[in-house]
Structure 1
Amino acid sequence: MANPLDTAEPGTAAVAARLDRLPVTRTHRRATVAVGLGLFFEFYEVFLTGTISAVLVSEFKLSKAALPPLLASTFLGMFFGALLLGRLADRFGRRGAFLLNLALYSFFSLLGAFSGNAIMLLITRFFAGVGLGAEPPLADTYLTDLLPARKRGKLIAWAYTLAFCGVPVVGFLAKGLTEGSFLGIAGWRWLFVIGALGAGVVFLLRRGLPESPRWLHSVGRTQEAETVIRGLEAEAGQTPAAEPVPAPAPAGKPVRKAAPIRDLFGPTYRRRTIMMTVFHVLQTIGYYGFGTMVPLVLAAKGYPVSQSLLFTALTFLGYPVGSALSLPLVERLERKHLVIGSVLAMAVFGLAFGLANSIALAIVFGFIYTAISNVFSNAYHIYQAEIFPTALRSTASSGTYSISRLASGVMPFVLVPLLDSSGATTLFVVIGAALVLVALDIALLGPRTTGRSVENVAGEG
């Protein structure tokens, strides 16, 4: 079925064909690195507050009741950020939204370093979260728009492999810096400064990236789209397609606005919107639920803190290792099937971890789970942006992804009581059941995408 959102502008198929036939150019590689570095600080931030939570409790004399709101504030900010900035990317462009989210995060992370009390830290964490909230779906959207179809999955997986290095980095930095001070400033404050300055560097790198030519074309800015595409073709040593250059829009004629959100709930895309909404609620229970609950599960089983820290360190190293494992898979296997297979493997090894009766088995099963979970993570980040049309790609990816941020904030209030009342085995049975439902959701409702033009995937409805 023809897709009204991606065929409204004459020449859309030609634009897609020219972008998809390109080899990987210098601009493609630069975009992959710049996006990966931005994601690096997204993961850095997600794991930062939880990693130094014990330090913050001591610094600000927090009660048990005061810590959860502080930890949840970043996720709550991410929820609103994903909703807001994701929509802005469809209305005003991917590049502008990218720069805005980094500017917000960098400013409020730096401000948070100077927090004099828990209230100020909570507020700055919330607004830093707003800046970071749309980072993964914006990254998925921009790279999906820009990269050629046959290399899209592998390059996005490279961006996330770079990004996941932020997890062990924050772990080792937290261990090294929180034990003292530097230049008379407490170590935990330097962690926020490092995040802010790093994001500022990424901001400068991204300023040199081109706007998405697919998005430019979708809103009627055809001359600008042509300029970007010709630049990519020149880099690749290709002769531009023998087609007339689109004429500039008549003076005073407004460009088209982003497609209305209601189109996501119309007959063409309703099924996919529902699929990804259900997906993000359930995958959060498995992916983030495991990482959040593991230290508490080990403590509940009576393992000493030193062994728990060893497990945490090995788990953190598993993030980039697991992401690297996805590189040879994301283009060789159908991504829909890779999401399904990896999430079912997560269910198996998560349950094995819950049943483990020694720290050695817990480390083995936990590391395997973490590695597989990042094959899953890369596959779904690629997948979620491929299945929606250009005019609504960012809105759909960010909007459904925002639900996972909200679920992440709520989850500890559900899973911790479950662990306390029913034990580790029951907890991981629940997590495993959620992951099985994720597999069924994608199997029944998801289209195939690997190696296909995003216009063709979106046009299936």
Structure 2
Amino acid sequence: MTTLEGASDLRAADHPARADTSQAAGTGEISARLDRLPATRAVWKLILLLSLGFFFELYDLLYTGYVAPGLVKSGILTPTTTGLFGTSGVASFIAALFCGLFIGTVACGFLADRFGRRAIFTWSLLWYVAANTVMAFQDTASGLNLWRFISGMGIGVELITIGTYMSELAPKHLRGRAFAICQTIGFSAVPVVAFLSYLLVPAAPFGVDGWRWVVLLGGISALFVWYFRRNLPESPRWLASKGRIREANEVLARLEAQVERQYGQPLPEPGTPDPAPRKAGFADMWKPPYRKRTLMLIAFHIFQTIGFYGFANWVPTLLVKQGITVTSSLLYTTVIGLAAPLGPLLGYWIADRFERKHVIVCMAALNIVSGLLFSQAASAVAIVMLGVLLTLAGNIISFTYHAYQQELYPTAIRARAVGFVYSWSRLSAVFSSFVIAFTLKEFGVTGVFVFIAGAMALVIVAIGLMGPRTLGKSLESISH
């Protein structure tokens, strides 16, 4: 830091009002410098490291549906419940995960705002890996559900942290594509976990139930991310929002030096800094302009969860209910799972070209049509094709809203605010898993997909009528 900068910091410290002005100016400048960075290897490396964390996050989040037949086969769980909220069925296992996710997002989202993106990214990963490892050795429904709940808390914190981290490190011209690549890598976990489940769940290698191997392999592999996290810097935007302008400048200067070497010419001049939002607290979520966004995202998350997880977590069980064997069901879902990373990969080409709200609305409509046709499908070809369409639509919605919701709040409360609205999806999943189990028992597969279609119609209404436009705007300008 130069003598002039040091003197400025000292003067600001003596005058609180001047300190606030100085911090706001510094935050705006940091943001403008980040947003003008070209898409070089140094920038993509950060995105890829976060994406690797997201891969194992989704592996642990989405193996639920794939190991469910194995849990039933081993006698630990039953496919349906005797009552609406029975604790011995597959629904209770799914609900335990989402209860944990709810607590992790609503009660612990503030951790990344308080202690930084990098630290919470690391510790929440270790948390859920340890919990899943213990869960893999449980033999009772109560033990299984307890440790799935604990691992869900860690997964919930990690999901919020990765999204926040990504939105703050990616330049504005790259933000949509960054989330598309992150989700492409993340959803590559779906065919991996589907294939491992196909190989292992019907078997018992070395006398150990196959579902336990699926759980353990994900946890062991995730520890590699903990090793590589040393290459991730703290978010300069977060540092600046905390008044740590000197540290933010140091982190950003190192990144700029790497980018400039790879760019081969001087970096573009930063644009005019957008004024940073005033210091925000949690209560600001309920004041204009954030109140409308908060209500929109709460409604969106309540209903999108029914569509996304209603298919992802239940498809093997739904197929078995249609008379298809466990082995054939897992084979079909493995093939369908191959399409999972293709959704966000296709989205890469539209991510920074079309408004995020319009993409969500169109994909929700595709989900409705494909789901209703899937419920009537009988042939293997129809099941796989419609399953692929449902997967593509769901995953394009997923990467789009992960980018979208991070854009709608200021840096000071981004993790807490997104954690709060995102937590409603977890709460929704807790109850919808029991409702789907009940609907499956009483009304069959068709009833389940009618229920899902109604939920996705409400997604279209919420986003279509209340969602603001964000394409190509800086995070600071969207926050005003």
One-letter amino acid of the counterpart of residue 49, structure 1: T
Inter-CA distance 108–423: structure 2 relative to 1 (3 Å threshold): closer
- Note the alpha carbon deviations across 1:237-272, whole angstroms, 9 max, x for none: 2469799xxxxxxxxxxxxx9842111112231111
Structure 2 stretches of 5 or more lacking a match? Answer: 1-19, 261-265, 272-277
- Once residues 410 and 6 of structure 1 are traced to their aligned partners in structure 2, the CA distance between those partners, rounded to angstroms, is 47
- Once residues 68 and 21 of structure 2 are traced to their aligned partners in structure 1, the CA distance between those partners, rounded to angstroms, is 46
Once the two structures are superposed, the pairs formed by residues 125-204 of structure 1 within 5 Å of their partners are: 125-182=148-205, 185-204=208-227
Partner of 1:388: 409
1:353 aligns with 2:368: no
- Once residues 312 and 45 of structure 1 are traced to their aligned partners in structure 2, the CA distance between those partners, rounded to angstroms, is 17
Conservation of the 8 A alpha-carbon contact between 2:136 and 2:216: yes
1:82 aligns with 2:105: yes
Partner of 2:65: 50
Pick aligned residue for 1:71 from 89, 94, 107: 94
Q: Which has the larger displacement, 293-302 or 168-177?
A: 293-302
- Once residues 62 and 443 of structure 1 are traced to their aligned partners in structure 2, the CA distance between those partners, rounded to angstroms, is 40
Once the two structures are superposed, the pairs formed by residues 422-461 of structure 1 within 5 Å of their partners are: 422-459=443-480
- Note the alpha carbon deviations across 1:367-388, whole angstroms, 9 max, x for none: 1121122111111111110111
Report the CA distance between 1:228 and its aligned residue: 1.2
- Note the alpha carbon deviations across 1:406-432, whole angstroms, 9 max, x for none: 222221211232344344444333322
Q: Would you say how many aligned residue pairs link Structure 1 and Structure 2? A: 442
SS of residue paired to 1:394: helix
Identity of aligned residues (%): 39
Conservation of the 8 A alpha-carbon contact between 2:132 and 2:148: yes
- Once residues 50 and 360 of structure 2 are traced to their aligned partners in structure 1, the CA distance between those partners, rounded to angstroms, is 22
Partner of 1:410: 431
One-letter amino acid of the counterpart of residue 402, structure 2: H
Q: Which has the larger displacement, 95-104 or 117-126?
A: 117-126
Report the CA distance between 1:60 and its aligned residue: 5.4
SS of residue paired to 2:173: helix
Report the CA distance between 1:402 and its aligned residue: 1.6
- Once residues 281 and 95 of structure 1 are traced to their aligned partners in structure 2, the CA distance between those partners, rounded to angstroms, is 29
One-letter amino acid of the counterpart of residue 45, structure 1: D
Partner of 1:252: none
Q: Which has the larger displacement, 291-300 or 49-58?
A: 291-300
- Note the alpha carbon deviations across 1:263-317, whole angstroms, 9 max, x for none: 1112231111111110000101111112344445444544555553343222211
Conservation of the 8 A alpha-carbon contact between 1:83 and 1:402: yes
1:21 aligns with 2:42: no
- Once residues 6 and 188 of structure 1 are traced to their aligned partners in structure 2, the CA distance between those partners, rounded to angstroms, is 56
SS of residue paired to 1:329: coil
Report the CA distance between 1:58 and its aligned residue: 4.3
Pick aligned residue for 1:113 from 136, 142, 161: 136
Q: Which has the larger displacement, 85-94 or 169-178?
A: 169-178
Inter-CA distance 98–285: structure 2 relative to 1 (3 Å threshold): same
Report the CA distance between 1:157 and its aligned residue: 0.8
- Once residues 268 and 361 of structure 1 are traced to their aligned partners in structure 2, the CA distance between those partners, rounded to angstroms, is 45
One-letter amino acid of the counterpart of residue 300, structure 2: F
1:37 aligns with 2:60: no
- Once residues 194 and 405 of structure 1 are traced to their aligned partners in structure 2, the CA distance between those partners, rounded to angstroms, is 25
Inter-CA distance 258–188: structure 2 relative to 1 (3 Å threshold): farther
SS of residue paired to 1:431: helix
SS of residue paired to 2:193: helix
Inter-CA distance 221–448: structure 2 relative to 1 (3 Å threshold): same
Q: Which has the larger displacement, 400-409 or 268-277?
A: 400-409
One-letter amino acid of the counterpart of residue 368, structure 2: A
- Once residues 293 and 21 of structure 2 are traced to their aligned partners in structure 1, the CA distance between those partners, rounded to angstroms, is 16
TM-score normalised according to structure 2 size: 0.85
- Note the alpha carbon deviations across 1:338-373, whole angstroms, 9 max, x for none: 112111221222222234354432322221121122
